[in-house]
Amino acid sequence: MIFWGIQLHTDLDPGSKKIKYILSGDGAGTIFQINDVTGDIHAIKRLDREEKAEYTLTAQAVDWETNKPLEPPSEFIIKVQDINDNAPEFLNGPYHATVPEMSILGTSVTNVTATDADDPVYGNSAKLVYSILEGQPYFSIEPETAVIKTALPNMDREAKEEYLVVIQAKDMGGHSGGLSGTTTLTVTLTDVNDNPPKFAQSLYHFSVPEDVVLGTAIGRVKANDQDIGENAQSSYDIIDGDGTALFEITSDAQAQDGIIRLRKPLDFETKKSYTLKVEAANVHIDPRFSSRGPFKDTATVKIVIEDADEPPIFSSPTYLLEVHENAALNSVIGQVTARDPDITSSPIRFSIDRHTDLERQFNINADDGKITLATPLDRELSVWHNITVIATEIRNHSQISRVPVAIKVLDVNDNAPEFASEYEAFLCENGKPGQVIQTVSAMDKDDPKNGHYFLYSLLPEMVNNPNFTIKKNEDNSLSILAKHNGFNRQKQEVYLLPIVISDSGNPPLSSTSTLTIRVCGCSNDGVVQSCNVEAYVLPIGLSMGALIAILACIILLLVIVVLFITLRRHKNEPLIIKDDEDVRENIIRYDDEGGGEEDTEAFDIATLQNPDGINGFLPRKDIKPDLQFMPRQGLAPVPNGVDVDEFINVRLHEADNDPTAPPYDSIQIYGYEGRGSVAGSLSSLESTTSDSDQNFDYLSDWGPRFKRLGELYSVGESDKET
């Protein structure tokens, strides 16, 4: 088959058989359709090259009736020819770009790209040309490469910061009839430091009280800069003026202004105003634009000082005074002075802060500030005294000032030297003449400027001491030496050597210290072994350990003997019961008052009666009888009607005739009267008056309870008389 145009043709004789054409492959029956009689092929749908550029089909001639192939199938390709049916597109638009302000002509900004779906090989359907529709005369574009450049030099961001550029891409090489597409490009000018700072005003006025705290912000100045970011940062300095030492200026990075602060105290009375010259300069300078500079500006600042009521000012920030420790009371130690710095000049009153002088050792004159001594001083107790003096304005008590005053107590020679410690020297019996027995040193509580220097001597009456002598050493100590040998502790065990110690003060002071020298027994090499005299009386051959053992045995024997005697004595003693266990001697005590005759439960007299005594059997409970006591028949008192007098007489008679009773009476006599009672004693014991002389009416004056007691006694007396 030969494909010709859009018709298929077979080489077979058309008259021999009836031929039918069939079509298969890409798009057969859906996009392409064949006339089975003529073989014409035509498209039944619109073709789009951009969707599918070519189709592969297979055609074959078959028998009309049997559909048997009359010849082999033929494959052919249908290519879709392109036409200019797609406009250019900017797939990444819209675009954004930046370029520094003040850029030179032709500075590249960015480039854009458009695409065309048409066939770039066939014709000019895909040949694009770029142009700018809006954005001239500021920017230009290369027609073929689409590179955008600046078309004007020195574009100023402060004049206009942002530009909108419309870009067109047209196919067919830009000729008429071609399709086109557009996009937008936003160009932003970035800032460069091309503008210097500029103060909003050339003169600033501020006022500040003279008592303002150091570091306080007095005012702010600001230099405006049309640039932004770091290009607008400025540093502030004081470059001239009469207050450069009193004021300082710092930069506020956030607000981009300068803060004027006080660095030293102000004094209205000294100077009432100051003038400063302040400069603001850019921190980051671009050398490309240095010709547009200088990038700095100056302004004048005038500061007026306002008067304020200030506290007193001392003539010195601290005071150091010195006083001797023997200074007389009320003597002047020193003086502090203060003044009111204000024009009104208020009088000043001085006082001592007693929290710093709790012992009130010092006083101060309220008018002139002279400090005097109130109590005696002792340098050895305290060398320094630190007090605080207060100065107060009389016209305004709220204005006060304080100043520390250090008082140093100077030393005087008021302490005599003495031994540095308690010394006890040991002298060997076998010592040699001239041997150093002890080295002593002295101490003095005083503190002379040139240090201590002590003089040692013996008492005048002991200068010619036959046993000992002294020797002064270079280190201000003293050595005691023995004059001879042959010391014997049996003759004299202890020697007392008084030593006079003098200092070098003016006047010098001295004291006498006594050194105790003990004579001891020593070994051949001088080691002390024993310093007791008793060592001589030890038997020869007995050691100290043996003697201690003997003494311990003797003490143990003595303890055994004492224990044995004590046990024998306890064994022979009669088993006498304790007094508080004897029913005859019990005293029953109550913490409340009795109810008199009406109180029938307070005390039962029957408790005095031994239950065994009712039957006549009264054994003694205070001894252990050796013989069996046979009870005697006696009167059997009636339990409900006890006669106390008769009961006591019977018990006395039995005790006197009891052979087992001890040879002493067991009746206890209580003759002790209580003390401290305003009522006196109610007992009739040891009374010098008879019962008839007693008058109990006075008990009524002591209260209801004693009144009842008096009535009972009165009734008893009246019954006896009756």
Per-residue pLDDT reduced to its tens digit, 125-173: 788 999 999 988 999 999 999 999 999 998 999 899 999 999 999 988 8
Specify the pairing of strand 203-209 against strand 296-306.
parallel
Residues 276, 245 contacting (CB under 8 angstroms): no
CB atoms within 10 A of CB 690: 8
Whole-number pLDDT of residue 376: 93
User: Which pLDDT band, with edges at 50, 70 and 90, does 9 fall under?
Assistant: low
CA distance between the termini of the chain: 188
Q: How far is CA 396 from CA 47, 81, 383, 392, 467, in A?
A: 108, 110, 37, 8, 80
Rounded mean pLDDT, 595-622: 49
Across the strands, what pairs with 274? 303
231 in helix, strand or coil? Answer: helix
* Cβ neighbours around 420 below 10 Å, total: 13
Least confident interval from 87-91, 145-149, 284-288, 320-324: 284-288
The one-letter amino acid code at 97 reads A
Confidence band of 668 (pLDDT split at 50, 70, 90): low
pLDDT in tens, 383-411: 999 999 999 999 889 999 999 999 999 88
Q: Which of 128-142, 504-518, 560-574, 604-618 has the lowest mean pLDDT?
A: 604-618
Closest Cα to residue 632, out of 666, 656, 668? Answer: 656
Count of C-beta atoms within a 10 Å radius of residue 508: 12
Task: Please give the structure tokens belonging to residue 155.
Answer: 């574009």
**CA nearest neighbour of 41 among 52, 25, 62, 53:** 25
HSE-up of residue 45 (Cα within 13 Å, Cβ side): 11
Looking from the CA of 285 toward its CB, the CA atoms found within 13 Å total 15
Give the Cα separation of 328 and 371 in Å (integer).
13
**Contact by Cβ (8 Å): 369, 389:** yes
Predicted TM-score of the model (pTM): 0.43
| pLDDT > 70? residue 345 | yes
Single-letter code of the amino acid located at 624: K
Query: Residue 499: which of 452, 431, 437, 411 has the closest Cα?
Result: 437
User: Which carries the bigger pLDDT value, residue 182 or residue 599?
Assistant: 182
The lowest-confidence range among 440-444, 450-454, 490-494, 609-613 is 609-613
pLDDT band at 690 (very low <50, low <70, confident <90, very high): very low
CA distances from 472 to 64, 501, 626 (A): 161, 11, 89
Bridge partners of 690, per DSSP, are none
| Section 261-283 average pLDDT | 92
Confidence grade of residue 223 (pLDDT, cut at 50, 70, 90): very high
Task: Tell me which residue of 259, 229, 235, 257 sits closest to 247, measured CA to CA.
Answer: 259
Q: Are 351 and 390 in contact (CB under 8 A)?
A: yes
**pLDDT value of position 117:** 81
β 273-282/234-241 pair status: antiparallel
Ramachandran angles phi, psi of 283, nearest 5°: -80, -45
Does residue 280 or residue 70 have the better pLDDT? 280
Per-residue pLDDT, 456: 87
pLDDT tier for residue 722 given thresholds of 50, 70 and 90: very low
- Read off the pLDDT band of 6 (50, 70, 90): low
The pLDDT confidence band at residue 546, using thresholds 50, 70 and 90, is confident
Question: How confident is residue 702, by pLDDT bands cut at 50, 70 and 90?
Answer: confident
Q: What confidence score (pLDDT) does residue 222 get?
A: 93
Q: What is the pLDDT of residue 203?
A: 95
Q: Positive or negative, the Cα torsion across 603, 608, 609, 610?
A: positive
> Over 50: is that where the pLDDT of 641 sits?
yes
Q: What is the pLDDT of residue 623?
A: 47
CB count within 10 Å of CB 88 equals 25
Evaluate the omega torsion of the peptide bond into residue 574 and state whether it is cis, within 30 degrees of 0: no
Percent of the chain with pLDDT over 70: 79
Amino acid, res. 472: K
Lowest mean pLDDT among 102-106, 372-376, 505-509, 601-605: 601-605
Whole-number average pLDDT of the chain: 80
Average pLDDT of the segment spanning 545-573:
84
**Residue written as tokens 């304020």?**
308
Considering only CA atoms, which of 34, 27, 30 is closest in space to residue 6?
A: 34
Average pLDDT, integer, range 263-290:
90
CA 488 remoteness from chain centre: 69
* Between residues 169 and 47, the one the model is more confident about: 169
φ and ψ of 401, to 5 deg: -135, 155
pLDDT classification of 183: cutoffs 50, 70, 90: very high
Report the pLDDT value the prediction gives residue 301, as an integer from 0 to 100.
96
347, two tokens: 């009088």
